[in-house]
Amino acid sequence: MSDGPVTDPGPAPGDAAPSVALPDSLRAAVVAEFSLAFHRPFTTPIVVLVNALLTVAAWFYSPVGIRDLLFKYHGTLALPMVLASWMLSDVPATNVLGPDPVRVRAALEHPLLLQRLLLAKNVVLWTLVAPACAVLAVLIGWSDAHLVESLMTVAWILFVPVGALGVSAWVGILFPYHPRPLSWRWANRRSFGRVIVRWLTLAVTPYVLVTWIALAILYPSVLIWEATTHHDLSARISSHDFTIIVTTAIVLSVLVFLGGHRIGLRLARRRRHYLAAYLADPDRG
């Protein structure tokens, strides 16, 4: 099978979906997604960079009380883990349909094509976040002579936050919205609930949702460790125990990612007519 685009077979009756070229493989979908990400308005790279800068600023310069409120875990190796979670915590992780209405509408009747689009968006977001945070973890571990911990941190960064992406996409499937300029939203402020409140709520949701899903994936591992360890829980976690925690969290993350995507595709299938109509009308905000 070639990696070039194929033309969508056509919409279901009544959906009025456009005929558009869609990738015929995951590789082609990823290439197309990278091309979209690095063309104007560069939304995904800008969002990732801004989140990284905000996280670093909050980590190093916020007052202790606020820092404790924002970040559950501390320590030098915790920084790249926190950074990976927060860099993924923005609208590209949740509003997966709204920014790409033409291709999504064409794929709604074809689960395999829609799956490729969603996975490609995850791959691009992961690529922009995970490698940089993994390199930071290696550098910190090397300088602190904590090589085993740094390698386990790298494994955590590469796999655990990704599990959240399989679930966070549900938000965009249930509550999509069109990226519109602030000037448009202000001009349409009479529809305050739909144009302003709904959009603001969905725009800030990923900051809470993605981070807490990642923590929820990690938490069962910590509970297992707490139930089986005979050490002081307030003491520094040994390399052996940290390895067990991370390995368990990785297995859970993979399961959550795969299960989350499967459920997300079912949701999209059930809501395809609503989604097709919503995505066809940018004035719905």
d(CA 120, CA 258): 14
pTM exceeds 0.75 for this model: yes
At 70 the pLDDT is 64
* pLDDT block averages, 10 residues each, the chain of length 285: 38 51 86 89 88 85 69 72 84 88 91 92 92 88 71 87 89 92 89 89 85 79 64 59 82 92 94 93 86
Q: Tell me, what's the pLDDT at 78? A: 79
Residues 168/210, Cβ–Cβ less than 8 Å: yes
What residues form DSSP beta bridges with 149?
none
Per-residue pLDDT, 225: 64
Copy the structure tokens of residue 125: 């977001």
Q: What's the pLDDT at 229?
A: 58
Backbone angles phi, psi at 62, to 5 degrees: -80, 150
Can you give the three-state secondary structure of the chain, one letter per residue? CCCCEEECCCCCCCCCCCCCEEECCHHHHHHHHHHHHCCCCCHHHHHHHHHHHHHHHHHHHCCHHHHHHHCCCCCCCHHHHHHHHHHCCCHHHHCCCCCCHHHHHHHCCCHHHHHHHHHHHHHHHHHHHHHHHHHHHHHHHHHHCCHHHHHHHHHHHHHHHHHHHHHHHHHHHHCCCCCCCHHHHHHCCCCHHHHHHHHHHHHHHHHHHHHHHHHHHHHHHHHHHHHHCCCCCCCCCCHHHHHHHHHHHHHHHHHHHHHHHHHHHHHHHHCHHHHHHHHCCHHHC
Which of 177, 24, 170, 154 is CA-nearest to residue 100?
177
Task: Report yes or no: 104 and 97 within 8 Å, Cβ to Cβ.
Answer: yes
Question: Which domain range does residue 274 map to?
Answer: 5-284
Q: Which residues contact 172 (CB under 8 A, 6 or more apart)?
A: 94, 95, 96, 97, 98
Give the count of domains, the chain.
1
Token pair belonging to 108: 């709604």
Per-residue pLDDT, 120 = 93
